[in-house]
């Protein structure tokens, strides 16, 4: 099981604190091993020199970690460290074998630029001198001395460079992880904002739908019921003036016309109320309501109508379901009034992000250029689709029927 980003940071901090104690630990081990083989007379001096070295490192590095950013101070620190290492190396080879590791690390990480290579070389020289208990006295010994020193410098430089590369990669990955986490946070916020915005848009669409429905009902009352009632009154007044006894034929004609107008306007009133409040959606989903509306329309008109649903049927936001049902009802009404069709197909397609409603007939069709779309039917259907960030497309040709396609976002109903 991998560690989390926070756990890795904590582990790194603990490791860095522990590595700060490594120079003191190496100094203690080297002093202890040297003391086991040193003369008793030289032991106090060795211990004192080791204590001075520990104090030197503590003052410059442990107590003042910010001084690493000041090259001048680091040159002074490292120069003093070299002197102390030379004195310690003369008192025992363990200082050259163990404590020299501190010199390599501090030379590489405390000195700037190419000076780090010079520092590593100086430490390697002191380490070799300590391990060989002095400088060589023959040419061959010098060659071996120099070859070993070069090998140490190369190895320290390679391993240190490799460590720097790994550290840089780690820092880069940490930055990438932080950037990815921030991007995920921004994405989550954006998705939440989008969901909230979508909910607000749907609420606004609902409010706009209520206003438009009131306007539509007012227009329909004016265009149908008011005009029809006016006609009924006119016919009845004419019948009254004609008189049943003196002019029976005109009287009967006027009464029949009034009755026909009353029946037509009763149908219009019922249709307006049904369109205002689509009750089928309160008991079932859009697909079932459309299927029932298609069946009922077919029974009333006597025309063949088929309903098909494709994709995973699911409940959508009430505003979306209500708008699509009303678009379908309006499209079917237009077919019954104008198309002279023999067959109608209603298709509801559920897709991942959108839902599409198609109403197609094989009627007389029309030239699209002859329709300006200002009538309430087409205009109302387009407005319903646009309020939901959707679209409505009408395709028709004379003699080739008509297709109405409404596409809106498939916003599913939210859980309470």
Tens of pLDDT, residue by residue over 23-51, are 888 888 888 888 787 666 678 888 888 89
Residue pair 268/228 in contact (Cβ under 8 Å)? The answer is: yes
Alpha-carbon distance of 262 to 44, in angstroms, equals 126
Please tell me the predicted confidence (pLDDT) of residue 68.
83
Q: If pLDDT is split at 50, 70 and 90, which confidence band does 371 have?
A: low
Please tell me the predicted confidence (pLDDT) of residue 358.
95
Please tell me the predicted confidence (pLDDT) of residue 416.
46
Q: Residue 275 pLDDT more than 80?
A: no
- Greater confidence (270 vs 389) lies with 389
Rounded to an integer, the average pLDDT of 234-255 is: 64
pLDDT tens-digit readout, 163-182: 778 877 877 887 887 888 88
Q: Residue 3 pLDDT more than 60?
A: no
* All structural domains of the chain: 5-135 (no CATH), 280-416 (3.30.565.10)
Which string of DSSP letters, residue by residue, matches 251-305? HHHHHHHHHHHHHHHHHHHHHHHHHHS-THHHHS-HHHHHHHHHHHHHHHH--EE
Which string of DSSP letters, residue by residue, matches 25-48? HHHHHHHHHHHHHS-TTTHHHHHH
Which has the minimum average pLDDT: 280-289, 316-325, 338-347? 280-289
Alpha-carbon distance of 210 to 204, in angstroms, equals 10
The neighbour count for residue 35, using CB atoms within 10 Å, is 17
Q: What is the DSSP letter of 375?
A: S
Q: Dihedral (C-alpha) 197, 202, 208, 213: value to the nearest 10 degrees?
A: 180
Please tell me the predicted confidence (pLDDT) of residue 346.
95
Q: Residue 392 pLDDT more than 90?
A: yes
Percent of the chain whose predicted confidence (pLDDT) is above 90? 13
Which pTM does this prediction carry? Answer: 0.43
Please tell me the predicted confidence (pLDDT) of residue 357.
95
C-alpha to C-alpha distances, 188 to 177, 195, 293, 391, 414, nearest whole angstrom: 16, 10, 41, 29, 18
Please tell me the predicted confidence (pLDDT) of residue 1.
45
Q: At what angle do helices 22-37 and 43-57 cross, to 10 degrees?
A: 170
Rounded to an integer, the average pLDDT of 114-126 is: 89
Tokens for 7? 């756990």
Element (H, E) at 407: strand 402-409
Tokens for 284? 């079932």
Q: If pLDDT is split at 50, 70 and 90, which confidence band does 298 have?
A: confident
Element (H, E) at 395: strand 391-396
The average confidence (pLDDT) of the chain is 80
Please tell me the predicted confidence (pLDDT) of residue 397.
86
Return phi, psi of residue 172, to 5°: -60, -45
Q: Residue 264 pLDDT more than 80?
A: no
- Greater confidence (247 vs 303) lies with 303
Which has the minimum average pLDDT: 138-147, 268-277, 327-336, 373-382? 268-277
Rounded to an integer, the average pLDDT of 310-321 is: 89
Please tell me the predicted confidence (pLDDT) of residue 111.
87
- Greater confidence (147 vs 178) lies with 147
Please tell me the predicted confidence (pLDDT) of residue 356.
95
Alpha-carbon distance of 289 to 359, in angstroms, equals 15
Alpha-carbon distance of 101 to 122, in angstroms, equals 12
Q: Residue 340 pLDDT more than 90?
A: no
Please tell me the predicted confidence (pLDDT) of residue 413.
73
Rounded to an integer, the average pLDDT of 75-95 is: 86
SS3 content of the chain, % helix, strand, coil (to 5): 70, 10, 20
Alpha-carbon distance of 41 to 50, in angstroms, equals 16
Q: If pLDDT is split at 50, 70 and 90, which confidence band does 277 have?
A: very low
- Greater confidence (101 vs 231) lies with 101
Q: Residue 400 pLDDT more than 90?
A: no
Percent of the chain whose predicted confidence (pLDDT) is above 70? 75
Please tell me the predicted confidence (pLDDT) of residue 260.
66
Q: If pLDDT is split at 50, 70 and 90, which confidence band does 138 have?
A: confident
Please tell me the predicted confidence (pLDDT) of residue 196.
82
């Amino acid at each position: 099981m991998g560690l989390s980003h926070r756990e890795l940071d904590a582990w790194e901090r603990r490791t860095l604190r522990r590595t700060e104690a490594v120079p003191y630990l190496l100094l203690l081990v080297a002093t202890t091993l040297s003391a086991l083989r040193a003369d008793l007379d030289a032991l106090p001096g060795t211990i004192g020199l080791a204590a001075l070295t520990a104090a030197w490192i503590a003052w410059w590095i442990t107590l003042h970690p910010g001084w690493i950013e000041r090259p001048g101070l680091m040159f002074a620190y490292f120069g003093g460290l070299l002197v102390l290492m030379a004195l310690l190396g003369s008192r025992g080879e363990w200082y050259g074998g163990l404590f020299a590791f501190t010199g390599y690390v501090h030379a590489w990480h405390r000195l700037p630029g190419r000076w780090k290579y010079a520092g590593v070389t100086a430490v390697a020289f002191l380490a070799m001198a300590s391990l060989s208990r002095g400088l060589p006295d023959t040419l061959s010994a010098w060659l071996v001395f120099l070859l070993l020193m070069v090998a140490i410098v190369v190895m320290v430089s390679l391993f240190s460079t490799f460590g720097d590369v790994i550290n840089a990669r780690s820092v880069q990955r940490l930055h990438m992880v932080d950037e990815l986490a921030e991007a995920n946070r921004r994405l989550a916020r954006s998705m939440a904002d989008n969901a909230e915005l979508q909910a607000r848009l749907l609420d606004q669409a609902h409010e706009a739908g209520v206003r438009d429905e009131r306007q539509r009902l007012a227009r329909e009352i004016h265009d149908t019921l008011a005009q029809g009632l006016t006609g009924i009154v006119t016919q009845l007044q004419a019948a009254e003036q004609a008189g049943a006894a003196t002019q029976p034929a005109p009287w009967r004609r006027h009464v029949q016309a009034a009755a026909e107008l009353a029946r037509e306007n009763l149908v219009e009133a019922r249709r307006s109320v049904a369109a205002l409040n689509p009750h089928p959606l309160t008991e079932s989903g859009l697909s079932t309501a459309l299927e029932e509306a298609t069946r009922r329309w077919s029974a009333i008109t006597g025309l063949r109508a088929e309903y098909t649903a494709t994709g995973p049927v699911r409940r959508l936001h009430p505003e979306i379901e209500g708008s699509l049902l009303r678009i379908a009802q309006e499209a079917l009404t237009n077919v019954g009034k104008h198309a002279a069709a023999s067959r109608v197909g209603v298709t509801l397609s559920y897709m991942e992000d959108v839902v599409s409603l198609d109403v197609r007939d094989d009627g007389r069709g029309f030239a699209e250029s002859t329709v300006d779309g200002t009538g309430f039917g087409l205009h109302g259907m387009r407005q319903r689709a646009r309020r939901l960030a959707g679209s409505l497309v009408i395709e028709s040709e004379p003699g080739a029927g008509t297709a109405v396609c409404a596409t809106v976002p498939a916003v599913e109903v939210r859980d309470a």
